[in-house]
Structure 1
Amino acid sequence: MCKDNQFNKETVVKKALGVATVSILALSLGLGKQKINPFSESTTSTNPETLLVNHPNLVTKKEEEVVSQDNESFSTVNNHVPPNLPDFTYAAKIATPAVVHIKVRQDAKIVRHPLNNPLDQLFRDFFGDSFRINPKEYEQPAQEFFGSGVIYTTDGYIVTNNHVVEGADHIEVTLNDNRSYVAKLVGTDPAIDLAVLKIEDKNLPILVLGSSEKLEIGDWVLAVGNPFNLTSTVTKGIVSAKSRDLGRSMENGKLKIQSFIQTDAVINQGNSGGALVNLYGELVGINTAIYASRSASFMGYGFAIPSSLVKKVANDLIQYGVVQRVLLGVTIQDITAELAKKLGLKQVLGVYINSVQDDSPCAKLLQKEDVITQINNRKINKASDLQEIIACSKPGDKIAIQLYRKGKEKTIEVILEKKPDEVRIVQENNALRVEGAVFHDIDIKTREKLKLTHGVLIKDIMKGKFQTAGLKKGCILISFDKQPVKNIVELAKMIQITNGPVLLGMVDPSNGSKIYLAVDFGTRASYEHEW
């Protein structure tokens, strides 16, 4: 271990002579893209070096294989802190090299106004379809945003928030030692607000993946990131709450899975995607959001995605390009005082089942009005507890559900099934993103050069159905299910109504050759038109 990480007894017990507090007004993190060494004199049998030398090595696969954090990566170190004066320098030195600065650039583009503007519709009813209050299109200038990320594997996979890189045309990653890289977007999970990037390098510094489940309210944590472009900033706080559900206040209700770690460590615009670490420098969460006043200043409430969810999502995106989710197949709500009285519960805790889907793996095991109280011996106090456990599970996992039914306790075992894949379509200004592919409209000059009357450019291709089918970056998609593709709006409509296999026609601009490929879309697509 490096000398910089060694602490003697004199260093550990040194007392704070004074702490200067700087108050900085901040923009909301949600809007921005922009161990203690717990070793005191009384702890004579352990020290940071002997504890950390026993931590598991996360990189256990061969170099050519996908490197990911496995189940055994979770630390078994106890997070409890003795009531002594803390020294945070150890965790800060461990964490800062693995936290990166992310710069996102969006190119200048032509933005289309939505066609369902109520005022436009009102006036068109009177003056005809050609009348519009607002121009149909306008030019949006190039923009830059900033955020943070955490190096997840030694070969360059990086975890950040989806909202940091959403809509990015170019992504640049800068390490703590000022090395800079162009990053590729591997995959995103808007439901949890996570994304994975890839830079090309080896032997990069990473963080041991700590156990967010073992965190307790009152435990010390550090937030590491780049607020306001102030690189490598560290702030301290405690765990204020766990399994926090912010409801529809987060991202206009886009986040479907919420089970946040709440902390009072100061985080602001630019901290998005940065690390929340425990007192041993272990990653226990990804900083994601804050509550802010109308002036967008920090109000003392920060929220991080727990490492249990980070691990599941990151590993799936690296291995599959999408998140492999499971289906429990129930609609649920928190237990209220009225429900507890009606059902004869002794405590106002647990999750109430409103309904069970017919195609659920639990259709014959769970019933309406059941109250789930534990899963795999973990107490379920509210819906976000159950949500986190299911979101962290893999297809084929067996879970033991303890429930309360009609005055009696009962335990059942369920084998979780994979949730059917849903093709997600997102149209952002002049780009269409679907199944790992990014499509752009092509200009008149390109069409004339290739002697085409229609088609869309395959701007980028990542893991997904299109890549599996054989689509190539830089080629022109000219037909979909034997129908001409005029533009990305028409392509989005075609994909939206598609269910099953279709034939795609593609032109390679390098030689003018035409290629035909088949792709199976399976279940019906969901369409998100973001203007």
Structure 2
Amino acid sequence: MVGIDRLSDLAVLRADRDVPDPPEYGDADHLKVGNLVVAVGNPLGLAGSVTAGVVSALGRSLPVRSGAGNRIIEDVIQTDAALNPGNSGGALADGNGRVIGINTAVAGIGLGLAVPMNPTTRRIIYSLLHDGRVRRAYLGLVSTPAPLHPALAERFAQRTALRVVEVIPASPAAAAGLRQGDLVLAVNGVPLRDAQSLQRQLFEDAIARRTELTAIRNNALVDVIAYPAELTD
């Protein structure tokens, strides 16, 4: 085991013998509903099994937990390719044989989920290869996407923001002055349209770094400065 990241359900292993050449990797961000996919794995102990299906939905969220850390795996791929216990960790490939996901969960009959292969997961894998772990920043807020009033949506050129549901006491978000009910529009100028867009900003390079959050409070625009801590299990 080279490294494991429970908050993304990914790990990197080192083989002690010769292995086939690595596959070509695709980009799950380019998938569309209806695309053909092929799942590879060992369902129910039946080694080397292959099942085919289509992408039945994109952008699903898969809540995961590791110690005190909670995270949502972003943009999870939903497929109707038959998955069973033993498929987890196997490749999900597109019609051209490129790996675009890693099977992670069986949600029900005809409903399987896979962690996407995209720039975010590539960053995670790179960290596991070189450091054996993934360091993340922690703000200490619970948020949910919320639609903006049409006038605000036009003003800021975005339809949604993140409404702060809870601010964890003694957290960086609390120290920065964020409050329950605030609508967070952007972090360091990057618009936030969903929880995943915030998580993309909270990797190692954000730890202890001056971070500007733009929010709406009582219909007024406010800027708060936070210094994210390192997320620990």
TM-score w.r.t. structure 1 length? 0.35
The one of 264, 268, 274 aligned to 2:80? 264
SS in 2 for 1:319: helix
- Deviation of 1:263 after TM superposition, in Å, equals 1.7
Taking the aligned partners of 2:226 and 2:191, their CA distance within structure 1 comes to: 17
Taking the aligned partners of 2:20 and 2:132, their CA distance within structure 1 comes to: 22
- Deviation of 1:285 after TM superposition, in Å, equals 1.6
Taking the aligned partners of 2:71 and 2:113, their CA distance within structure 1 comes to: 15
Taking the aligned partners of 2:175 and 2:126, their CA distance within structure 1 comes to: 30
Whether the 8 Å CA contact 1:236–1:265 is kept in 2: the answer is yes
Q: Any residues of structure 2 matched to 1:285-324 within 5 Å, and which?
A: 285-292=101-108, 299-308=109-118, 309-324=120-135
CA offsets, 1:298-320, max 9 Å, x none?
Answer: x1211111224532333222222
Unaligned runs of 5+ in 1: 1-184, 293-298, 425-531
Taking the aligned partners of 2:29 and 2:130, their CA distance within structure 1 comes to: 24
Residue 38 of structure 2: aligned partner: 222
CA offsets, 1:417-473, max 9 Å, x none?
Answer: 4515x4x6xxxxxxxxxxxxxxxxxxxxxxxxxxxxxxxxxxxxxxxxxxxxxxxxx
Distance 1:198 1:345, change over 3 A: same
Whether the 8 Å CA contact 1:356–1:363 is kept in 2: the answer is no
Residue 351 of structure 1: aligned partner: 162
Residue 371 of structure 1: aligned partner: 183
**Bigger-Rg structure (1/2):** 1
- Deviation of 1:272 after TM superposition, in Å, equals 0.6
Distance 1:282 1:361, change over 3 A: farther
Distance 1:354 1:282, change over 3 A: same
More strand by share: 2
Residue 389 of structure 1: aligned partner: 200
Q: Any residues of structure 2 matched to 1:50-69 within 5 Å, and which?
A: none
CA offsets, 1:93-134, max 9 Å, x none?
Answer: xxxxxxxxxxxxxxxxxxxxxxxxxxxxxxxxxxxxxxxxxx
- How many pairs are equivalent? 221
Taking only aligned residues, the RMSD between alpha carbons, in angstroms, comes to 4.2
The one of 196, 204, 220 aligned to 2:12? 196
* Amino acid across the alignment from 1:236: A
Q: Any residues of structure 2 matched to 1:98-497 within 5 Å, and which?
A: 185-201=1-17, 204-247=20-63, 256-259=71-74, 260-292=76-108, 299-308=109-118, 309-335=120-146, 349-356=160-167, 358-360=170-172, 363-364=175-176, 366-373=178-185, 380=193, 382-383=194-195, 385-386=196-197, 388-390=199-201, 393-396=203-206, 403-407=215-219, 417=228, 419-420=230-231, 422=232
Whether the 8 Å CA contact 1:243–1:258 is kept in 2: the answer is no
CA offsets, 1:333-367, max 9 Å, x none?
Answer: 3438xxx78xx889984421134455427843754
CA offsets, 1:171-196, max 9 Å, x none?
Answer: xxxxxxxxxxxxxx223223332222
* Amino acid across the alignment from 1:272: S
RCO greater where, 1 or 2, for CA within 8 Å and sep 6 or more? 2
Whether the 8 Å CA contact 2:43–2:84 is kept in 1: the answer is yes
Taking the aligned partners of 1:211 and 1:416, their CA distance within structure 2 comes to: 32
SS in 2 for 1:245: strand
Distance 1:379 1:387, change over 3 A: closer
Identity score, percent: 29
Taking the aligned partners of 2:224 and 2:53, their CA distance within structure 1 comes to: 39
Taking the aligned partners of 1:364 and 1:233, their CA distance within structure 2 comes to: 52
Whether the 8 Å CA contact 2:162–2:192 is kept in 1: the answer is no
